[in-house]
Amino acid sequence: MEPERGSPQASLSDLFSILQDPKEMLIMSIQCSKKLDQAFRRLLPFSLALLLGTSGTATAASVNTTGLAVTDTTVTVGDLHSATGTMAISEIGSIQAEMLAIDQINAAGGVLGRKIEVIKEDGASDWPTFAEKARKLLVKDKVAAVFGCWTSASRKAVLPVFEKENGLLYYPTFYEGLEQSKNVIYTGQEATQQIIAGLDWMAKEKGAKTFFLIGSDYIWPRTSNKIARKHIENVLKGKVVGEEYYPLGHTNFRTLINKVKAAKPDVIYSIVVGGSNVSWFKQLKAAGITGDKANLLTISTTEDEVKGIGGENVLGFYSAMKYFQSLDNANNKAFVQAFKTKYGADSVIGDVTQAAYLGPWLWKAAVEKAGSFDVDKVAAASPGIELNTAPEGYVKVHPNHHLWSKLRIGKWKKDGQVDVIYESGLIEPNPFPEGYQ
């Protein structure tokens, strides 16, 4: 039979062709060096680490015992957001903020003396794609951390991947809570931080007793309104006179507005998300519901949305979140200026953009505290990490991986910025609030 005689010949000629082809040689040598590298990696922690102890000249192997993409001069991280598709509107700000933070960290000498390199992946507003790209970043690229996701749906899609492959995700969006993972640091606010202090303020300042709850129809607005309703009914002893949900992208709110008018609530509590915001606020104004006649409090409308809505349509309404672009402190001024220098003078910064900016800085602080890039060590070192340089002011990581943060209430002005008229103390994150579920 042919193969028996043919095969040794074939392998010999293969070897010759490899020797003749420089490209093949290169591939061979890379493969060899990889093998050697792996062997060293196994040995190094025992030999070198013993020799060097924990002195400053840490080698890649000593700060990375789990095979992450770390060399003596670089460390690779992932960035996973929707650069295309319907969510790109919101997520591009987060990408920009994360890149700005990474550039600044690199300019200041990097993390543990290593420059951060970024692999950007596009989740394309599609949740299975997020999971697939997360797996690629963790398994193939072996990134040390990922900054990414925006919607709760995308976070829920990647969470099992991060837990199985033991990755580390920095998630920037304010969200509904009811989640806590070793593998995720939540840099935005969970629902109770954003909702309770805002409602308390409305009740105290405006004497509000009746509330009309409105939201886009998915998990975050529904869970948030659930918490709001419990707080209104049980703590404030007020009354919810209506609760309505509309699909994402809905553009006709006239009937809803008539219902609100008929119910005459003291406060309209709005969690309308995305493009629907524009229709909602334009139609409110056209129906004669304006900031001087009605109290409207929203936890979903940031400077980003108002850029599309137009400041004149939200004039006098209130937003409750932890960050506004117009916050008056030195950290924030430097941040806004750096952001505008990099991305243009007409760019605006919303709450989530600032929270995304915190991600790389919190990671750097945790890595340096742990003295290692290993995910387990960084996750363990994270609680207690403080950041005095945050644009929103002081933040601190709670053992439940959420941040201690303040709540501010902003009153919208015509130019699309707010007057910050209320600031709470630091609020403890409580993703599983008792009595609110």
Sole binder of another protein in the list 49, 105, 235, 278 (CB under 8 A): 278
Q: What are phi and psi of 425, to 5 degrees?
A: -80, 180
Measured from the CB of residue 148, what is the shortest distance to another protein in angstroms?
17
The Cβ of residue 199 has, within 10 Å, a number of other Cβ atoms equal to 23
Sole binder of another protein in the list 26, 28, 286, 334 (CB under 8 A): 286
Does the footprint of another protein cover residue 344 (CB under 8 A)?
no
Measured from the CB of residue 265, what is the shortest distance to another protein in angstroms?
8
Q: Where are the beta strands (DSSP E) in 89-168?
A: 115-122, 146-148
Instruction: Give just the sign of the alpha carbon dihedral 267, 273, 277, 280.
Output: negative
Measured from the CB of residue 226, what is the shortest distance to another protein in angstroms?
15
d(C-alpha 19, C-alpha 371), whole Å: 44
Q: Nearer Cβ to another protein, position 279 or 424?
A: 279
d(C-alpha 41, C-alpha 61), whole Å: 6
Sole binder of another protein in the list 42, 239, 333, 414 (CB under 8 A): 239
d(C-alpha 233, C-alpha 228), whole Å: 9
Does the footprint of another protein cover residue 99 (CB under 8 A)?
no
Sole binder of another protein in the list 51, 108, 262, 345 (CB under 8 A): 262
Does the footprint of another protein cover residue 288 (CB under 8 A)?
yes
d(C-alpha 298, C-alpha 351), whole Å: 13
Q: Nearer Cβ to another protein, position 73 or 252?
A: 252
Q: How far is CA 119 from the centre of its chain?
A: 17
Per DSSP, the residues of 198-232 read HHHHHHHHH---EEEEEEESSHHHHHHHHHHHHII
Quick one: tokens of 160? 């099992």
Does the footprint of another protein cover residue 222 (CB under 8 A)?
no
Sole binder of another protein in the list 40, 127, 218, 245 (CB under 8 A): 245
Q: Nearer Cβ to another protein, position 178 or 287?
A: 287
d(C-alpha 309, C-alpha 318), whole Å: 14
- Segment lying near another protein (by CB under 8 A), choices 36-44, 137-145, 239-247, 412-420: 239-247
- Segment lying near another protein (by CB under 8 A), choices 142-150, 153-161, 245-253, 417-425: 245-253
Sole binder of another protein in the list 68, 227, 241, 306 (CB under 8 A): 241
Measured from the CB of residue 233, what is the shortest distance to another protein in angstroms?
15
Sole binder of another protein in the list 86, 166, 331, 400 (CB under 8 A): 86
d(C-alpha 373, C-alpha 209), whole Å: 51
CB 278 within 8 Å of CB 309: yes
Quick one: tokens of 421? 């008229």
- Segment lying near another protein (by CB under 8 A), choices 13-21, 107-115, 126-134, 301-309: 301-309
Q: What are phi and psi of 81, to 5 degrees?
A: -135, 175
Alpha helix positions (H), 188-316? 191-206, 219-230, 254-263, 276-286, 303-309, 311-314
Does the footprint of another protein cover residue 88 (CB under 8 A)?
yes
Does the footprint of another protein cover residue 219 (CB under 8 A)?
no
Does the footprint of another protein cover residue 118 (CB under 8 A)?
no
Place of tokens 């797996």: 135
Measured from the CB of residue 294, what is the shortest distance to another protein in angstroms?
12
The Cβ of residue 349 has, within 10 Å, a number of other Cβ atoms equal to 26
Does the footprint of another protein cover residue 254 (CB under 8 A)?
yes
- Segment lying near another protein (by CB under 8 A), choices 185-193, 273-281, 357-365, 402-410: 273-281
Q: What are phi and psi of 157, to 5 degrees?
A: -70, -35
Residues of this chain that bind another protein (CB under 8 A): 83-86, 88-89, 92, 210, 217, 239, 241, 244-247, 249-252, 254-256, 258-259, 261-264, 275, 278-279, 282-283, 285-288, 307-310, 313
